[in-house]
Amino acid sequence: MADIDVCIIGAGIVGLGVGRALALGGQSVIVLEKNHGFGEETSSRNSEVIHAGMYYPKNTLKARFCVRGNRMIYDYCTPRGIMANPITKFIVATNDNEIAGLESILQKGNDNGVPGLEIWDGARVKSHETALNAVAAIFSPTSGIVDSHSMMLGFLGDIEDNGGFLVKGTPFESAERKNGVWHIKSGGQSPTVITANTLILSAGLWSEDVARRVIGLEKFVPKMRYGKGNYFRYMGKAPFGRLIYPLPTSTALGIHLTPDAAGHARFGPDMEESKTIDYHVDEDKRVKFANSIRQYWPQVDEKLLSPDYAGIRPKIGNSLHDFEDFRILFHDTHGLDGLVCLFGIDSPGLTSSMAIGEYIAEKLQ
Ligand SMILES: Cc1cc2nc3c(=O)[nH]c(=O)nc-3n(C[C@H](O)[C@H](O)[C@H](O)COP(=O)(O)OP(=O)(O)OC[C@H]3O[C@@H](n4cnc5c(N)ncnc54)[C@H](O)[C@@H]3O)c2cc1C
């Protein structure tokens, strides 16, 4: 007999989303977190955008979970009074050469089943966002923003209401499957060993390190790269009421604008490879940010851009330039009973969190 049905390593939005889905399905759940609070890493260092799902190749996990997760977030948050606002989004072409790029995104979005996407001409775009430099744009009605901290608090509440719990300040150290259960060793102030039928690794930027500590898993652990994204806050009024994105590059969605309720805005993230987990934002990036923003908002005042925060994408794959899908491994891949490993849960991981939970709960059944 194991102490518990499921032990999850990592209390980010994905670990909590998975824990919620399993707890609602009647499993006893414990979540181990090395920090003294939940969601303090990538899950609180992102754009808080509810993506619609038009960037990802058809039939990938990212495409499926993003489109499904988008709807699940609105359905979850709205009745609970958690801010999830479909403020909508423009992806902007700033010259005629970029229009083909919009058409290709529209096609991907339609292939993925994203609802309501349209290409608008420049005059129509400018009648809604007068300060925008655009010859055309994709209008996405289901893109929005969410209060991700409240969402995580909601997930944790659902876990606890169903008999599960979060143990903070408790780093996972190692695990081994013996006599049909997982023996899971944790450190921190009260080092202990617990047993669980199912072990789920959802450790974000630490997923390579955590997975290497599971006996028998070594050869399935991908190399991790850090794709750092910096943000700058705009200290003046920004005259936009929706998300404004440039065309994506091969590595990232581009330095976009996220408005807040007070009429201010945040710009970012950019993308750079980082050797370490370092959240410092270098002030020297201001010029690069201003030049990028000026493409779609010519009046931006560079002096009003102030370094804000940074987040780091857990990238797998040989290069930051290649598309890599979420990697979620079950017994059929690694051959270990009762083990689920999540790797490379970068964007749109927040949007996908509830759909990932639903998927893992279904697979484990
Ligand atoms: C700059 C940036 C912008 C983004 N913007 C968006 C966006 O707008 N929309 C969107 O959908 N997605 C976005 N994403 C992606 C999204 O933020 C992530 O996919 C999501 O937060 C990942 O959640 P997670 O739970 O997997 O990881 P994390 O939030 O990193 O959680 C992992 C947890 O595991 C814990 N942990 C690690 N090692 C151990 C251990 N040994 N023992 C116990 N606990 C451990 C960590 O402390 C952490 O709390 C963005 C990401 C970045 C970096």
Specify the amino acid at residue 115: P
The answer on 110 and 162 residing in a single domain is no
Cβ neighbours for 226, distance < 8 A, ≥ 6 positions apart: 205, 273, 274, 275, 276, 277, 312, 313, 314, 315
The enclosing domain of 327 has a CATH number of 3.50.50.60
DSSP single-letter state for residue 141: T
* Closest atom, ligand 1, to C-alpha of 205: 30
The answer to whether position 77 is within a domain reads no
The answer on 276 and 308 residing in a single domain is yes
The dihedral region occupied by 335, where left means phi > 0, alpha psi between -120 and 50, and beta the remainder, is: left
Distances (CA, A) of 16 to 215, 224, 271, 283: 24, 22, 27, 34
Rounded Cα–Cα distance for residues 331 and 197 (Å): 13
DSSP single-letter state for residue 77: H
Rounded Cα–Cα distance for residues 270 and 272 (Å): 7
Helix or strand run (H / E) with residue 124: helix 122-128
* pLDDT at residue 295 tops 90: yes
The answer on 110 and 129 residing in a single domain is yes
* pLDDT at residue 250 tops 80: no
The answer to whether position 68 is within a domain reads no
* pLDDT at residue 211 tops 90: yes
Average pLDDT, the chain: 96
Ligand 1, pocket-test mutation among 255, 258, 350, most atoms within 8 A of CB: 350
The answer on 279 and 349 residing in a single domain is no
- Residue 253 or residue 301, greater confidence: 301
> What is the tens place of the pLDDT at every residue in 53-89?
999 999 999 999 999 999 999 999 999 999 999 999 9
The answer on 218 and 198 residing in a single domain is yes
The answer to whether position 69 is within a domain reads no
The answer to whether position 70 is within a domain reads no
Rounded Cα–Cα distance for residues 291 and 308 (Å): 18
Ligand 1, pocket-test mutation among 42, 206, 360, most atoms within 8 A of CB: 42
The enclosing domain of 298 has a CATH number of 3.30.9.10
* pLDDT at residue 356 tops 80: yes
The answer on 162 and 197 residing in a single domain is yes
* Closest atom, ligand 1, to C-alpha of 15: 25
The answer on 237 and 198 residing in a single domain is no
Rounded Cα–Cα distance for residues 14 and 275 (Å): 24
Pocket lined around ligand 1, Cβ cut-off 6 Å: 9-15, 32-35, 39-43, 45-49, 51, 171-172, 202-206, 210, 229, 269, 311-313, 345-351
| Residue 204, domain extent | 4-47+149-223+323-364
User: Could you tell me the distance, in angstroms and rounded to a whole number, from the CA of residue 140 to the centre of ligand 1?
Assistant: 25
* pLDDT at residue 320 tops 90: no
Helices 349-364 and 148-161: angle between axes, nearest 10 degrees: 20
Closest by CA to 339, choosing from 187, 156, 175, is: 175
Rounded Cα–Cα distance for residues 127 and 118 (Å): 16
Which residue's C-alpha comes closest to atom 31 of ligand 1? 12
User: Could you tell me the distance, in angstroms and rounded to a whole number, from the CA of residue 12 to the centre of ligand 1?
Assistant: 6
Ligand 1, pocket-test mutation among 41, 151, 243, most atoms within 8 A of CB: 41
- Count up the domains in the chain and report the number: 2
pLDDT at 165: 97
Q: How many residues does the chain have?
A: 365
The answer on 89 and 27 residing in a single domain is no
